[in-house]
A and B are shown apart, each in its own frame.
Chain A
Amino acid sequence: MGPLLPNDIIPFEWSSIIAIVIGIFFGFILESSGFSSSRKLAGVFYGYDFAVLKVFFTAALVSLIGLLYMDYLGYVDMSSLYVHPTYLWAAIIGGAIMGIGFVAGGFCPGTSLCAVAIGKIDAIVYVIGIMVGVFIFSELYSVFEPIYTGYFYGNITLVDSLGINPYWFVFLFTIAAVIIFVLVDMIRKRVKKVFY
């Protein structure tokens, strides 16, 4: 039946209620897997706790495998799902700035909201920082405009850009992920334990 809301199987008024419900689950999962503590998040860069990597890759893989099976069985039509647009240099430069922000601040927007919910003051400051960052971007929009709109390759998927078979890609990606998980555990054993 494909995505239910755009196909009007569920009337559009429900979308905000569904958003809240999805948000509740999202917040619950993030918080209980420990993403509300910035030190656990930063552990992925310093080797003492690779929770972020594990959660991130498992979530991506499970959703990818699930969606591909549903697409094969005809329950969802992958071509009508929203694909994040590919602005090449915007993604690289934006990603670089976000990377530094991640290491410095210790949060990403989703996890900072979880931390705000349980009363972390640094998270609140972080969220205000994000708002200031957004404000700066919009004020200096003319400066960022060429990057922001340049090198647009459309909402393409890896299948279009690399011409690979999605099933094979997922299979190899899963094997790579398992290898990374094993390596990551070895690294964690060798790195000095940090109690947080």
Chain B
Amino acid sequence: MKLKTLTAAVVAAGLLVTSVPALADLNFPMLSYRTGAYGANGAQFADGYADYFTLLNERDGGIGGVKAVTPECETGYKTDKGVECYESTKGDGALVYQPLSTGITYQLIPKVTQDNIPMHTMGYGRTSAANGKVFSNVFNYPANYWDAASVIVKHLSDVEKGDLKGKKITLVYHNSAYGKEPIRTLEELSKKHGFELKLLPVDHPGQEQKSQWLQIRRERPDFVIMYGWGVMNQVAIKEAANIRFPMENFVGVWWSGSENDVIPAGEGANGYKAVTFHGVGADYPIFKDIAKHVKDAGKAAGDGSNIGKVLYNRGMYAALLAAEAAATAQKMHDTKDITSAQMRDGMENLKIDEARMTELGLPGFGPEINVTCENHGGPGLAAIQQWDAKAEQWKLITEFVESDREIIDALIAEDSAAYAKENKIEDQDCSKG
């Protein structure tokens, strides 16, 4: 019996041990995933997120003089682990959550609202959370899945000189909640622009896509749009190259547009496009600072090899937006040690213009952002990037352009209204400004 009591005590103690950061720190927990089927992607994002905060701490002494910490909790992209991570970190004064998975996002939406902690789902999650009236604690600026679909279609329309009538567009998508997101938007857009939409789902994990690509080869669509994730991206791009589908007519969403996705296809991937809501490459002034204060100081989250990659940049951008929101909150409430509720206010009033981006060492990296109480979705601007296989580099080939607000706003209103009704949520009052 003694043995058992002892074991029980050890277990209980072990379950209680969680990282306890010094109370005065600003706490930005990371629900990262460095293992599992998507670990290769998750690691890059997490490195970028952590490195940016390290940079702020090292170079500026934190945010408004308060150090930031980024306790990391591994989710493996699994929803149940996500919940565990959330519960184990929220008690330590977590300011904002980046769940990094659509599944975890859906789970946490009611919880963060209950606990009054903001959640930022940048370019993923529940799209209709852009309606700040219904989703008071969820933010998905600067752009969402539906914006991506719309910007892609807009780009294709530009390629076709404004006329998509009668064109055939095929959507290859990950057969999951995430992959299904753009379908409704694309259906609306196909009505508006008169193109013919065809849907091709690919089951997780997506190593075998012969059927899908043979079908594409037979039907010769003018364009292929992809909402893929993980190994599905690499296989799809390889198969597209194999059937000699013109790569410049193949456009992926931002989760299908990292170096990981195109490099295995080698030369064949040259010309592949993807939509993005932030700049690519390491040609920004900030990377000098990162090299100096983070990498060379031996404080990088990973081994430093990810710096400047697409997903690293995205993680860094997410961290930047969180830090700016925290600074906004500090100013608004005139306190250095902000709470999660104050952080939420900061996010809701976040304004970043080009001048500020230049100041931060990232000129032209992202569009101007102006979050309001009604609009948690940001400007919905996105650009198209293209892969140069020789140089092994992504290049932005368009400006940040606006999505089709008319269609998307209607869809957001509809979906968020349904959610509000189902969960009996009353709109938050946005009049007090």
Are A and B bound to each other?
A: no
Q: Which residues of B contact A (CB under 8 A)?
A: none
